[in-house]
Structure 1
């Protein structure tokens, strides 16, 4: 999204004051987009037919463009040339991969089945949220909590690559295979690994390639300082604009279902709250137990707890349709995630006292310029 404000020494300012206005009030913007969508759907009854008039592989073209738009600025910020700086640190890399690609999806699968066993569409949507590992907003939470910026940037790049390679297979496993192994009711679930992977390739692969090429060409022609200090701040807000545009259209088309089942939507908040709290807490404890510094433990915790809700929304819409409960669950994700992770920033700063070596050097890795840490 937008760039965080300049660094303020720890203890001199509230963490949220160092967020840009757009990021600080993200739940408010999402809420207003939801309300605008409901109003638009009520006032324009023919909107659904108009959006379906032009489709790309079953997805309305305006919605597809909005999904790609909200992913591109995020991936243009990733420093792809830093992959080797953290891949050499196995004490951080191995726990991060296990937490992100084993523990996280399995925990969300468990919570979704416990709390939403009778709501298969919402349950499936939350499982998709659990599979979409955070690749951008985590850099803001990590920076506010005084985590290791370099490690966070590299783990973001690793998660981006893993999502392209693994999301389709893991989605098929958790949605179609594992429930059958456990004897759980599938409710007519018909989804293939290719169906999910195809949408990941479209809505993550295209902006990932565009982001990589943009950074490579931009830095080669104008230099890294211009790219990160001038170009990125200009395109950053378009991630939020794309997200809000998608939410407006989704709620415009979902108005009747939401009005008919408001408590069902509220029920999704419970497993989401538990998920974010448990993932962050378990990761922070693990970092402390294996004697990582506070900075890297914090990075481990936020990269494990955060989710790429843009990708979750895109996959849900691409596979199940814009009027599906799965797509609606994807939108509820950030509405809960953002305020919870802001709260966990404060908890992280409080927990710093339990890490005596909280000023550990960052493995000799050059510190990232602050202007590259924004979403």
Structure 2
């Protein structure tokens, strides 16, 4: 029988020590943000049409190698899996926002700014970092590409409507405090094109041209192993930049960070465990169950932070709630990568 440690042992040295590298990247970003006066302002000022160039660069470098691994000729097998598609839509656009709304009101009833920020986080479904968590957990790359693309379309169409519903309509029905939200659908679409469209197109063209010129065997056994590590380099760079940008806010308000962290921890645990259990219950294999769980549990903090800053200001509690998101999400989802790998053998025994 396969041991639970075996899948993790097959990870490369870089992957195996990922929690350490991420902890160091978070620490480096926080220290740099605190120790270098004006660094956050300088990094945040380097923008093109509202998109932070350092963060965009890190995300593009992170996502491109993983999307270059996708076998695009297999995508039809994913789109034909109605169990996976409908489950993902329900988890991401019905359960996820509703769960974050409930947790925010339950655990932060006296902190309206942080509560609103967390609700915005719950509306921003993940289209970026989930790609790498899924890959590290040996999920289905093709399924991840399809579900992330599906989330992107719904993000453009549904983010503003759901923001209006959860911040104004539903609180009004329940007799709770209402909050307005100014959302620019064009800006959300632009974020989707940059953070998903560019690396997706680059990954597709790389595979198509690479296989055409050198063949699939060379592409997968020679080219991809050389390209693969850059995904983690991009992830670590992105983490350093994110925490350098917001290090002062995080370290100067530790009690507030702890209050915000509690509903986030509950959210990630419930969404991932519930999605993983659902995938297994409806008969998905390990790879697609893992993809379902990570695409449901992750959030697009870049979008949430941008919306909170644009609506409430850079120093607002809503923006801080978005900033705390990756502080909690990154180590938690790294731990869930190892949890998924440890559960992998159970699917082999039951399928």
Quick check: TM above 0.5? yes
Distance in structure 2 (CA, Å) of the matches to 1:30 and 1:121: 28
Contact 1:129 1:307 in 2 (8 A): no
3-state secondary structure, aligned to 1:196 = helix
The RMSD of aligned alpha carbons is 3.2
Contact 2:32 2:244 in 1 (8 A): yes
Task: Say if 2:152 is the partner of 1:164.
Answer: yes
Structure 2 matches for 1:11-50, cutoff 5 A? 11=3, 13-50=5-42
| Residue range with higher mean Cα deviation, 207-216 or 81-90 | 81-90
Question: Which of 207, 210, 232 is the equivalent residue of 2:199?
Answer: 207
Task: Say if 2:123 is the partner of 1:123.
Answer: no
3-state secondary structure, aligned to 2:300 = helix
Match of 2:293 in 1: 305
Consecutive unaligned residues of structure 1, counting only runs of 5 or more, are: 1-8, 144-148, 359-375
Match of 2:43 in 1: 51
Contact 1:69 1:239 in 2 (8 A): yes
The structure with the greater share of residues assigned to helix is 2
Consecutive unaligned residues of structure 2, counting only runs of 5 or more, are: none
Contact 1:70 1:310 in 2 (8 A): no
Contact 1:48 1:253 in 2 (8 A): yes
The alpha-carbon deviation at position 343 of structure 1 amounts to: 2.3
Q: 1:175 to 1:93 in 2, by over 3 A?
A: closer
Distance in structure 2 (CA, Å) of the matches to 1:159 and 1:37: 31
Task: Say if 2:246 is the partner of 1:254.
Answer: yes
Structure 2 matches for 1:168-317, cutoff 5 A? 168-183=156-171, 185=177, 187-287=179-279, 289-290=281-282, 292=283, 296-307=284-295, 312-317=300-305
The alpha-carbon deviation at position 188 of structure 1 amounts to: 4.7
Distance in structure 2 (CA, Å) of the matches to 1:75 and 1:135: 8
Distance in structure 2 (CA, Å) of the matches to 1:284 and 1:35: 31
The alpha-carbon deviation at position 116 of structure 1 amounts to: 4.2
Deviations 1:13-58 (A, max 9, x none): 4332122222223232222112112222233203234335542112
Instruction: Give the TM-score normalised by the residue count of structure 2.
Output: 0.81
Contact 2:63 2:199 in 1 (8 A): yes
Contact 1:72 1:210 in 2 (8 A): yes
The alpha-carbon deviation at position 288 of structure 1 amounts to: 5.1
Contact 2:4 2:344 in 1 (8 A): no
The alpha-carbon deviation at position 203 of structure 1 amounts to: 1.6
Deviations 1:100-152 (A, max 9, x none): 443344334433443345214641463156454833422432x4xxxxx6xx2
Contact 2:268 2:298 in 1 (8 A): no
Count the aligned residue pairs. 335
3-state secondary structure, aligned to 2:190 = helix
Distance in structure 2 (CA, Å) of the matches to 1:313 and 1:250: 10
| Residue range with higher mean Cα deviation, 245-254 or 109-118 | 109-118
The alpha-carbon deviation at position 297 of structure 1 amounts to: 4.4
Instruction: Give the TM-score normalised by the residue count of structure 1.
Output: 0.76
Distance in structure 1 (CA, Å) of the matches to 2:127 and 2:296: 5
Contact 2:45 2:52 in 1 (8 A): yes
Contact 2:7 2:342 in 1 (8 A): yes
Distance in structure 2 (CA, Å) of the matches to 1:156 and 1:308: 11
Contact 1:272 1:336 in 2 (8 A): no
Question: Which of 64, 69, 79 is the equivalent residue of 1:87?
Answer: 79
Deviations 1:309-337 (A, max 9, x none): 99724324544458842244134312211
Contact 1:29 1:244 in 2 (8 A): yes
Match of 1:140 in 2: 136
Q: 1:162 to 1:267 in 2, by over 3 A?
A: same
Distance in structure 2 (CA, Å) of the matches to 1:253 and 1:86: 38
